């Protein structure tokens, strides 16, 4: 009867140096609906595989010259063949052959000389597994393509890395650790006021990126020169709570700067920001503890004020910067940025930005201790 696992005849490469065993297994599998290409040596079997890509291999473990273990190793080392299952025929006299076969990359084994129905059942099981794996690979490729498209959309939400207005200049960087992330920043002029917003949505992937898109839409449509930033953040908190998943929340900072150098800001559990003041010649760390955004409804937020002057420099960031750790477990410290800003007080903004970017990028963070990083350097004129 034909193989019920597929409507087409699947190609099997059978490798066995015993002509008698080769013929018995070949005839049995062909009667069960398979197309079988037979080879009496490992070299011949591998040559066949280069001409025809089989659905599976059935390989005898004991052969002169290139044995079944080496054949399997070469199959699994070949980028074209490595996903094709290998069913190894092992001897009944030792478990060591099974161990060596599996270690060489064989996907399953059958004791040589056992009931051919067992061989058939094992082979069909491997082919089913291969079919599932192929479906998963195809799905993963589609997901990867979709995420790449979503990534491009998310990048379009972030403003250009360079911005200049009569009294302000900005350079920004975004260093992602994954395809999609929850780090976000934005800056824009509205009613002659400069707004600067930075946020870090919990989690990664599509849910975080969707929330980022909603945040951008909200801040662009709801900012109002007549509304206090504390009220705005309270409204934003309620909005985020209403549209997010139960496990989602965000940290955020919102700044508003007018032409007189009044800098108003409101914080939502976001890391402290840095302000280099030309008058004092040093960088100060500003902390303002507050509630998370979107964790609970009806939360109140504070509003704070500072005065900035020409030559002052503002540095805001997401916590991926200070969560960055090297293989020894040492964190990238905020004090490093303070030192860079103090040292680069007389540099043009682009040069200062490149100094900071280079230091962050050169920090040897390990992959599993690396998070998304976004930072903005703002110079007042």
| Better-predicted residue by pLDDT, 362 or 72 | 72
pLDDT digits (tens, 9 = 90+) for 294-334: 999 999 999 999 999 999 999 999 988 998 888 888 899 99
What pLDDT is recorded for position 362?
A: 87
Least confident interval from 193-207, 221-235, 276-290, 360-374: 360-374
- pLDDT for 180 equals 64
Q: Is 100 helix (H, G, I), strand (E, B) or coil?
A: helix
| 186: Cβ contacts below 8 Å, ≥ 6 apart | 157, 158, 159, 195, 196, 197, 216, 219, 220
Distance separating alpha carbons of residues 174 and 321, to the nearest angstrom: 11
Question: Region 195-208: what's the mean pLDDT?
Answer: 85
pLDDT at residue 139 above 90?
Answer: no
- What single DSSP character describes residue 307? E
- Residue 358 class from Cβ within 10 Å (0-12 exposed, 13-18 middle, 19+ buried)? exposed
**In order of start, what are the domains of the chain with their CATH numbers?**
11-141 (3.40.50.2300), 160-380 (3.60.40.10)
In whole numbers, what is the pLDDT of the chain averaged over residues? 89
What's the token pair of residue 352?
């200062």
Instruction: Identify the residue whose tokens are 């409804």.
Output: 297
Closest CA to 356 of 326, 381, 334: 334
Question: In the predicted model, is pLDDT for residue 6 greater than 60?
Answer: no
Q: Is the pLDDT of residue 7 over 60?
A: no
CB 146 within 8 A of CB 202: no
Distance CA 290, CA 370 (A): 25
Residues 6+ apart with CB under 8 A from 160: none
Residue 71, CB half-sphere, CA atoms under 13 Å: how many?
A: 34
């Amino acid at each position: 009867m034909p193989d019920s696992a597929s409507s087409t005849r699947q190609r099997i490469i059978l490798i066995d140096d015993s002509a008698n065993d080769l013929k018995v297994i070949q005839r049995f599998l062909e009667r069960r609906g398979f197309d079988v290409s037979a080879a009496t040596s490992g070299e011949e079997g591998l040559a066949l595989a280069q001409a025809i890509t089989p659905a599976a291999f059935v390989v005898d473990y004991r052969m002169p010259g290139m044995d079944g273990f080496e054949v399997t190793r070469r199959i699994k080392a070949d980028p074209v063949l490595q996903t094709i299952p290998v069913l190894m025929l092992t001897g009944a006299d030792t478990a060591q052959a099974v161990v060596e076969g599996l270690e060489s990359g064989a996907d399953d084994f059958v004791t040589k000389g056992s009931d051919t129905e067992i061989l058939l059942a094992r082979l069909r099981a491997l082919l089913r597994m291969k079919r599932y794996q192929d479906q998963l690979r195809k799905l993963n490729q589609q997901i990867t393509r979709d995420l790449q498209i979503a990534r491009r959309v998310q990048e379009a939400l972030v403003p250009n890395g360079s911005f200049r207005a009569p009294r302000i200049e900005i350079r920004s960087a975004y260093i992602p650790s994954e395809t999609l992330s929850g780090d976000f920043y934005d800056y824009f002029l509205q009613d002659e006021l400069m707004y600067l917003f930075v946020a870090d949505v919990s989690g990664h992937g599509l849910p975080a990126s969707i929330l980022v898109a909603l945040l951008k839409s909200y801040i662009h449509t709801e900012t109002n020169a007549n509304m206090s930033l504390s009220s705005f953040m309270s409204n934003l908190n309620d909005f985020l709570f209403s549209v997010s998943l139960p496990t989602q929340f965000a940290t955020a900072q919102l700044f508003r700067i007018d032409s007189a150098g009044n800098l108003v800001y409101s914080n939502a559990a976001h890391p402290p920001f840095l302000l280099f003041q030309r008058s004092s010649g040093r960088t100060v760390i500003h902390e303002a503890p507050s509630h998370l955004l979107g964790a609970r409804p009806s939360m109140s937020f504070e509003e704070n004020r500072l005065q900035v002057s020409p030559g002052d420099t503002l540095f805001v960031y997401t916590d991926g910067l200070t969560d960055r750790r090297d293989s020894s477990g040492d964190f990238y410290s905020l004090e490093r940025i303070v030192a860079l800003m103090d040292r680069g007080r007389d540099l043009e903004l682009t040069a200062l930005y490149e100094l900071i970017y280079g230091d962050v990028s050169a920090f040897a963070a390990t992959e599993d201790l690396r998070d998304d990083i976004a930072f903005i350097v703002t110079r007042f004129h």
